[in-house]
Structure 1
Amino acid sequence: MSRIAICQIRGRFPTSTGTITTMQELNHIRIAERLDLLTELSVELGSGHDVDSLLERILLVAKGMTGADGGTLYRPSADGRQLCFHISVNDSLGLRLGGASGAAVDIPGVPLYDAAGEKNLASVAAYAANFGQSVNIEDVYQADVFNFSGMRSFDQHYGYHSQSFLTVPMTDHEGELVGVLQLINAKDGESGAIHAFSSTDQRFIEALAAQGAVAITNQRLILQLEQLLESLVNLINIGIDEKSPYTGRHCQFVPELTMLLAEAVHDTESGPLAEFRMSEADRKELWLAGLLHDCGKITTPVHVVDKATKLETIFDRIGMIDTRFEVLRRDAELAALRAQCGGADPAGCAAGLAARLAQLDGDRDFLRQANIGGEGMAAADQQRVREIAAYRWRGPDGGEQDFLSAEEVANLTIRYGTLTEAERKVINNHIVVTIRMLEALPWPKHLQHVAEYAGGHHERMDGKGYPRGLVKAQMSVQARVMAIADIFEALTARDRPYKKGKTLSESLRILGNFSLNGHIDPDLFDIFIRRKVYQAFADKNMDPRQIDAVDEALIPGYRP
């Protein structure tokens, strides 16, 4: 008779250390081992972030803890009407479905309710789910309480013999069903004989299921909070979009372009940025910062954000100036008629009137053109606006006044774009508001850089940016990436009220000059061109009419 058999007869067993112990002591050792395993799993469940991996780990630990030959983990369907096979494993059959490395599960779910809407009591898994109770069956072929026709078909198909079953529901702290854990055929570790799951097995698996349900619920809540946060961010962008359709596209495209460039930097293996790497958490943080980079614009007045012409406020006041020209034309005609009535030469009066009307028409056309913002207004044109402003006209009150007010002159002589210095400060203030809004939020640790990334996209490498005048060394790579994305999208945007979208080559030329004059990071600009980030963005989002041929050798600040 073998040594192990003799020891078993006498009630003593060999251990891994070679000493002999009693059956009671062996049970204590096994319980201690299970407690250790349960503790280790608790730590793993607390640190895991992938629900599918957590579920697979729970099933495999439960199977190993009880010596089960197989196991299945069910998840409730989205509508809560049935249990879906999520993971199924069986050692004897070499079966592995679902989970991280298993084949896709193509098995019909288990209904939780019958056709009449009553709870399904025929299925052991549905019973455990519906009543929140564990079910421990010694031999399913001897049990007549549940319908095991599906199991019998399985056995017949695979040449398998199911015997002992342990089914345990997984519920969260509110009693909501998270899943159902089912183990099949507890096996003796020495002989391989199938036996019933013990009451100790059941208690440990119930404890495991409870821990697993808490971990899964926590991860689900975290995911829901992340989704809620992103939805709130999108809600802010929708508000900005509804307020000004010209910025909604920008709020969506800047984060997209930011991630394209950041991924290109992540993949770079040489140069000054070769050490830059991002984790998935880093990517989520940067994406969120991109979505929020202009959230402060929700406080910017619409008439400033959407100012398409220099004289636009609630409406374009160029029409009021046209009316004044009509008054001057009328006054010129009246003056000519009075002169003729006073005996002046009619031909001379007609010629003088024609010249005056031509001058007024020319001035009117000039002011209409000056009202349109451009890349730069010549000093001579600014002076001509001031000369026209000195014309006198009789207003509705009958009194004479300057043709243009000081405020109108200030707007019509704007050198670049359509914004006055005061309005530009209002626009620039959006980044101050953005930072203040974001810094006021209690960001969790993995999102603590959102305000810094989002608030730095108007800073310059030479310290001449705003609002804080940071230099390159004071800025993160992510903030510098977003600065390039913000500028490039603005250059190529075709939906701005004050300009047309520039061509791809023209935008790259301007961006290249920015890399030379200390505006943007030249190292990032090099990757932007070398990895053709600009092309990937253009092909997806730019108007095809803007996408012209690009000769990278001609781009300022770039060496092919």
Structure 2
Amino acid sequence: MFSLATIVAGVSHLESEKALFSTENVKNFTRTLKVTIKQVSNPVVTLLDTQILSDLINSDRQDFQWLAAITTTLNKNPFITSLYSANEQGQSVYIYRVSTQMRNTYPDMPDNAAFSLSFNDIDGPQQRIILSNTLKVISSATYASSHYDPRTRAWFKNTRDDDKIFISDPYRFYPSGRLGFTFSRRTLDGKRVLAADFDSQSLTALLQHMQYSKNSLTYLLASTKEIIASNRVLTSFEKSGGFNLTAPDLNHALDNMGDFPIGVTTLKSLTLNKVLSRVMITPLDIGNGHKVYLINSLKEEEFLAKSSYLNSHFNMKNMLFLTLFFFIVSILSTRRIAKPLIYLNKSLINIQRFEYRRKEYKVSNIVEIDQLNDTMMLMESVLTDFFNHLYNVARSSKPEELSASIVDQTSAILSANSCQLFINNRVNREAFHLSANSSSLPEFDFPQLLQNNQAVLDENVHVLSEKEASIIFATGPCKRGFIIPLMNRKEQNVGALVIGFNGEISSCTHNRISLVRNFIGFNEIVLEHLEKEHEQQALFHSFVKMTAAALDKKSPYTGGHCQRVPKITELIANAADVDTDTFSNFSLTSKNKEELLVAAWLHDCGKVTTPDYVMDKATKLETVYDRIHEIRMRYEVLKRDADIVYWQSIAEGGDTADSLARCNALKDELNNEFAFVANCNTGYEFLVPEKIERLAEISLRTWTRTLPDDIGISQQALAKKAGRHASLPAVERVLVDNVEHLSEWEVEPTQNTQGKRHFKMAKPAYQFNRGELHNLGVQAGTLTAEERYNINDHIVQTYLMLDQIVYPEHLKNVPLIAGSHHEKMNGQGYPLKLKGEEIPIGGRMIAVADIFEALTASDRPYKEAKKLSQALKIMAFMVKDDHLDEAIFDLFLTHGIYQKYAVEYLKPEQLDTVDIVVLRAIYQKV
């Protein structure tokens, strides 16, 4: 009885404490409010996070479908009133949801207006666009600049480059005049700031719904004492930013609001309107150190009302407590008996719902119930393991993972001491190898076992004989076991499970064999699927490599380029993967490595469309053959003409010596001219303007053609003459640019009519210009502008070809990676003119590999292979000129990638000394 009295006294004391410290309700209210503020502010943060890559300022002003995600968020979250963005140049854009307050401010606002956009420029014209709910333009107006500078605003100035959301102090929005906060953050590139306004009106409704009591007064104040929200209708004075000045004690209590600790409720007794009241002040942190203050005011008599109520009903509660006490004692005494049955019932309900889980069960000291619960626990554990395995198998992409799961789950279900999985492949179904082992038993010769008894694979479950068990488990403790074959849907054997037990196999284990057999049936299908998936992957990779090899075979001048570039690319990627400094964010998984290497193998696949004579053009006049021979023949004719003139002069009685001298002088001149033309044809030297002028002078020399040039030619060539026939004999120049040499575009270039990318390559007037003087006048190399375009067009064809392939998800970027290896960091590359980080890192790696291989290749007949130091010096200057990625090329140097490749693929005479310090000094900025 003494204990009981003690308990009753304790309960009385606790109830009194609840009355005296009923501020616990306020604390709960405060916690709820804090969580609610976070919940309603989360969409603002999410909106800013989803737009960090967007450039709203320079967005399309004709088609506004890019606004769909933003307007959806604004419509679904009424407390977000607007989204805006500004950049370092003072340009800004504001996106408002058209509200009732906005319609009151702008009476001429159309009835169907849903959103208002304002594009502002600090010194330029401004544009306001009104959109409907379907993002169709209702009206658009341009007006003079108001010289509004967003860079002076706190939401812009106080936002740092640290990916954090800045939250402003509460202030009044324009034009609604309501209090709220502004959330802002910088974009990833640090050049723009995104901001969104959070309207606190929703908090007013929350406070009214969650008021502490009927007569309580609740305010949510800013640090400036401005009212953000209240549980009652505010007066016009309070709405304008004032506070209840008739309560000086309260104003005085709030003078040092900043001193109140966050989250802690401070209780004060004050006289408000001549009535003694209790005021509870609770500061709340809304983020980044910004505070709002929850003020609860309650009359003293109402505050203590609960305590009076408790005193008047204390005796009744004591009696009720005693009744409950004895009732609880009775419940506890019977619960010990009922608990095991409750546990068993829950287990049965879980199994009925397919909710399997492992649970620990305390002994009840009732033998029958303990045995039943042991059985249920074992069944639940087996089912849990089984369904976990199915879950893991469904997401497995590697046969070795599946194999390990099979042996582990089989061992668990059968309580086996050993489980080994042997599998084969489609190449040889007789060649088994160990794929997974659940124990430390060594691998035995399973094929040898099959030779002695092929029947082990003909049964659903083969029970090992004593002899077979002694052979299989010769070095282990297992004495008995099973072999369960694995079959595919074609009834072909794809593997076998060898299961071992140290002692006798229990009847329980025998009973579970059918479960294991069904369990393995599912795995057989998955193994077959993975086998086919890997075969398809191998087929795809073989096709990719065959395509690259075919490209290399297509032209003897490209040698093994398409096969060597992937090797260099892989070396670069592996080095970046282990680099923990510059490339700390780069991770080379098996999937993105496959994507990179496939792109590297196919980076030049578009060259299959490039004419061979263009790709292999070794001299300026070469097409399918070198047309220097035509010009040589013309000079041969001219020399024969000189001999004819000489003999005619002799026949007519002319002076022999004088005629011979003129003839020889003309022949020398002709020899010199042709030698000059032939030298220009090689393209070995840069053609200076003086040489181009001499070619023009030489082209004025004529010769006489006596045979028609419009017979024995193709219909295409005949059509180019368009009926132009010169009377014979015809006088022609030795070097000509004829209309027949021009090839019109048969169709528009592919980049303007096909594909899903906007290619940015300037098209020449003609597809080909085979004019002799035009070709000989090429200043550097052998290619004309038209041929250079056709060479560069191979990368466009690469995009068009690769974009037609349907890729698995992890290979979807292959076209962009392969097609971007001719882009430059300064944006002057081709065909998309990507710049800097717009070029995928894989494309930048292939670019380094592509140029290094081309410079050092020794199988190009039109150029000499560069020595190692020469090639790297050229590339260093390309980095300096912002053509190649500096970080990747620096990795290429400092990790010795160039040396690893050179030792295997370069000739000994190319392996000279490389001074990395000197090379890095070329492109590194001091």
Q: d(CA) in 2 for partners of 1:237 and 1:248? A: 11
SS at match of 2:581: coil
Residues 265 and 527 of structure 1 are in contact (CA less than 8 Å); yes or no, is this contact kept in structure 2?
yes
Q: d(CA) in 1 for partners of 2:595 and 2:872? A: 28
> Does residue 382 of the first structure (1) align with residue 688 of the second (2)?
no
Q: d(CA) in 2 for partners of 1:550 and 1:109? A: 55
Q: d(CA) in 1 for partners of 2:380 and 2:685? A: 78
The one of 101, 104, 109 aligned to 2:447 = 109
2:441 equivalent in structure 1: 96
The one of 71, 76, 80 aligned to 2:424 = 76
Q: d(CA) in 1 for partners of 2:569 and 2:525? A: 36
Q: d(CA) in 2 for partners of 1:281 and 1:531? A: 24
SS at match of 1:528: helix
1:404 equivalent in structure 2: 735
Deviates more, 1:512-521 or 1:234-243: 234-243
> Does residue 214 of the first structure (1) align with residue 525 of the second (2)?
yes
Q: d(CA) in 1 for partners of 2:449 and 2:472? A: 18
Residues 699 and 773 of structure 2 are in contact (CA less than 8 Å); yes or no, is this contact kept in structure 1?
yes
Note closer, same or farther for the CA distance 1:25–1:186 as it changes in structure 2 (3 Å cut).
Answer: farther
1:300 equivalent in structure 2: 610
| 1:208-357 map, 5 Å | 208-271=519-582, 273-357=583-667
Shift of 1:86: 4.3
Shift of 1:85: 4.5
Q: d(CA) in 2 for partners of 1:312 and 1:262? A: 40
2:487 equivalent in structure 1: 171
Residues 552 and 561 of structure 2 are in contact (CA less than 8 Å); yes or no, is this contact kept in structure 1?
no
Larger Rg: 2
SS at match of 1:81: strand
> Does residue 130 of the first structure (1) align with residue 130 of the second (2)?
no
> Does residue 65 of the first structure (1) align with residue 413 of the second (2)?
yes
> Does residue 455 of the first structure (1) align with residue 803 of the second (2)?
no
> How high is the TM-score relative to the length of structure 2?
0.52
Q: d(CA) in 2 for partners of 1:520 and 1:196? A: 71
Deviates more, 1:380-389 or 1:417-426: 380-389
Residues 186 and 195 of structure 1 are in contact (CA less than 8 Å); yes or no, is this contact kept in structure 2?
no
1:39 equivalent in structure 2: 387
Note closer, same or farther for the CA distance 1:479–1:88 as it changes in structure 2 (3 Å cut).
Answer: closer
Shift of 1:457: 0.5
Q: d(CA) in 2 for partners of 1:86 and 1:275? A: 34
Residues 306 and 497 of structure 1 are in contact (CA less than 8 Å); yes or no, is this contact kept in structure 2?
no
Shift of 1:240: 2.0
The one of 895, 910, 915 aligned to 1:531 = 895
2:107 equivalent in structure 1: none
Pairwise CA RMSD: 2.5
Query: 1:145-169 CA deviation, whole Å, 9 max, x = no partner?
Result: xxx3x433466x5474613x23222
Residues 167 and 182 of structure 1 are in contact (CA less than 8 Å); yes or no, is this contact kept in structure 2?
yes
Shift of 1:394: 1.4
SS at match of 2:377: helix
> Does residue 152 of the first structure (1) align with residue 492 of the second (2)?
no
Query: 1:363-419 CA deviation, whole Å, 9 max, x = no partner?
Result: 222222211123622222222222222210112523210111210111111112211
> Does residue 501 of the first structure (1) align with residue 865 of the second (2)?
yes
The one of 466, 473, 479 aligned to 1:162 = 479
Residues 411 and 420 of structure 1 are in contact (CA less than 8 Å); yes or no, is this contact kept in structure 2?
yes
Q: d(CA) in 1 for partners of 2:611 and 2:696? A: 28
SS at match of 2:682: coil
Q: d(CA) in 1 for partners of 2:891 and 2:395? A: 36
| 1:21-40 map, 5 Å | 21=369, 23-40=371-388
Residues 485 and 496 of structure 2 are in contact (CA less than 8 Å); yes or no, is this contact kept in structure 1?
yes
Residues 411 and 438 of structure 2 are in contact (CA less than 8 Å); yes or no, is this contact kept in structure 1?
no
Q: Which amino acid aligns with 2:469?
A: M
Deviates more, 1:486-495 or 1:424-433: 486-495
Aligned length: 508
SS at match of 1:198: helix
2:794 equivalent in structure 1: 430
Residues 553 and 559 of structure 1 are in contact (CA less than 8 Å); yes or no, is this contact kept in structure 2?
no
1:144 equivalent in structure 2: none
Q: Which amino acid aligns with 1:134?
A: V
> Does residue 51 of the first structure (1) align with residue 399 of the second (2)?
yes
Note closer, same or farther for the CA distance 1:458–1:86 as it changes in structure 2 (3 Å cut).
Answer: closer
Higher helix share: 1
Residues 66 and 186 of structure 1 are in contact (CA less than 8 Å); yes or no, is this contact kept in structure 2?
no
Residues 240 and 248 of structure 1 are in contact (CA less than 8 Å); yes or no, is this contact kept in structure 2?
no
Q: d(CA) in 2 for partners of 1:390 and 1:26? A: 109
The one of 350, 363, 369 aligned to 1:18 = 363
Query: 1:250-295 CA deviation, whole Å, 9 max, x = no partner?
Result: 1111111111122222222223x33222112111110110001011
SS at match of 2:922: coil
| 1:476-491 map, 5 Å | 476-491=840-855
Q: Which amino acid aligns with 2:421?
A: L
Residues 460 and 469 of structure 1 are in contact (CA less than 8 Å); yes or no, is this contact kept in structure 2?
yes
Residues 72 and 87 of structure 1 are in contact (CA less than 8 Å); yes or no, is this contact kept in structure 2?
yes
Q: d(CA) in 2 for partners of 1:436 and 1:408? A: 33
SS at match of 2:587: coil
Q: d(CA) in 1 for partners of 2:908 and 2:705? A: 50
1:444 equivalent in structure 2: 808
Query: 1:345-365 CA deviation, whole Å, 9 max, x = no partner?
Result: 322322222222222112222
Residues 879 and 885 of structure 2 are in contact (CA less than 8 Å); yes or no, is this contact kept in structure 1?
yes
Q: Which amino acid aligns with 2:447?
A: G
Shift of 1:225: 1.3
Deviates more, 1:60-69 or 1:205-214: 205-214
Give structure 1 stretches of 5+ with no counterpart: 1-13, 98-104, 115-121, 142-147, 188-192
Q: Which amino acid aligns with 2:413?
A: M
Give structure 2 stretches of 5+ with no counterpart: 1-358, 708-728, 738-770
Deviates more, 1:383-392 or 1:284-293: 383-392
Residues 74 and 179 of structure 1 are in contact (CA less than 8 Å); yes or no, is this contact kept in structure 2?
yes
1:202 equivalent in structure 2: 513
Shift of 1:89: 5.0
2:220 equivalent in structure 1: none
Q: d(CA) in 1 for partners of 2:457 and 2:377? A: 33
Residues 856 and 865 of structure 2 are in contact (CA less than 8 Å); yes or no, is this contact kept in structure 1?
yes
Shift of 1:329: 0.9
Q: d(CA) in 2 for partners of 1:381 and 1:507? A: 30
1:6 equivalent in structure 2: none
Q: d(CA) in 1 for partners of 2:804 and 2:479? A: 60
Q: d(CA) in 2 for partners of 1:303 and 1:218? A: 47
Deviates more, 1:63-72 or 1:401-410: 63-72
SS at match of 1:96: coil
Note closer, same or farther for the CA distance 1:423–1:159 as it changes in structure 2 (3 Å cut).
Answer: closer
Q: Which amino acid aligns with 1:181?
A: L
Q: d(CA) in 1 for partners of 2:375 and 2:596? A: 53
